[in-house]
Amino acid sequence: MSGLRLMGVQTLELARRSVVNERRQLLSVTPGLVFPLLLAAVYSQQFRRVLALPGFPEVDSFLDFVLPACVIQAVSFGATAAGSELALDIENGFLDRLLASPVARVPILLGRLGGSSVVAAIKTVIIIAVFLFFGAEVAGGPAAMLVIVGMSSLLVLAIGGIAQVMAIRTGSQEAVNASFPLIFVTIFMSSAFFPTNLMSGWFRVVAENNPLTWVIDPVRRLVIEGWATGDAVQALGLPAILAAATIGAALLSLRRRLAAP
């Protein structure tokens, strides 16, 4: 078996392990679905009047506007799982056993990230289905829905890469889990729940320069306005670039850890 094929098999097996762990801990996965859906239900009633504001996107329901935010909020709950699992493996010695086995180094990281990405895709499909059931519309059709699923999976890879860097450098599951509030705050300080053109002051500056805004806005246009190749490329391209950067940083951190005396 060639080296690349072997690494692929090992990555898939570790990804399967990660998904199985998530399935066994449904209580930790459920809030990532329930909480964003509850917020969407509340916001769709509370913010109904903002639909009439000059400059607000023309939508029939606030659900159309908030769909991208709800998806990102849902997947953010498990975005650090790859790092948290890695930190736990470091704490209980499982990582040392993996390193002593014939498993290549890259699958050790990519397997966990792949598992988190699969879980994020499943969450996204459920979120979209619930929104459609309650009357939301995706003007871009099935193609736009696929972009949303791809975006969420790539975004989890990007965040998961950062979490793995923290796990490798600290070896602490608590330190990795402590990063979640920062992710949550970043979502609220973007265009997730309100368009930036209706913001003002320092908050608008922060939101406009928030990378999440650069992802949310094209996804929102796909939902509200319809299909546009440029929006699809931006929605997938930026998370892909971020994912490549953070995964690369995680691999470098692992290499340095193994090279340390």
Read out DSSP for 140-199? THHHHHHHHHHHHHHHHHHHHHHHHHHHHHH--HHHHHTTHHHHHHHHHTTTSSS-GGG-
The beta strand positions in 40-121, using DSSP E, are none
Distance CA 109, CA 113 (A): 6
pLDDT for position 149: 95
* Residue 140 CB neighbour total at 10 angstroms: 22
* Residue 12 CB neighbour total at 10 angstroms: 15
Report the sign of the C-alpha dihedral through residues 164, 152, 218, 199, in that order.
negative
Residue 253 DSSP class? H
Distance CA 138, CA 40 (A): 16
pLDDT for position 40: 84
Below-50 pLDDT ranges, the chain: none
pLDDT for position 260: 66
pLDDT for position 119: 85
Residue 234's H or E segment, with its range, is: helix 229-259
pLDDT for position 11: 74
Residue 225 DSSP class? T
* Residue 93 CB neighbour total at 10 angstroms: 9
On whether the CB atoms of residues 203 and 107 are closer than 8 A, the answer is: no
Structure tokens, 104:
């290549």
pLDDT for position 244: 93
On whether the CB atoms of residues 242 and 158 are closer than 8 A, the answer is: yes
3-state helix, strand, coil in the chain (%, to 5): 80, 0, 20
pLDDT for position 60: 80
Task: Find the domain containing 168 and state its range.
Answer: 3-259
8 backbone dihedrals φ, ψ, rounded to 5°: -65, -45
pLDDT for position 3: 60
What is the amino acid identity at position 169? R
Q: Which of 74, 65, 75 is nearest to 43 (CA)?
A: 65
Q: How many structural domains is the chain composed of?
A: 1
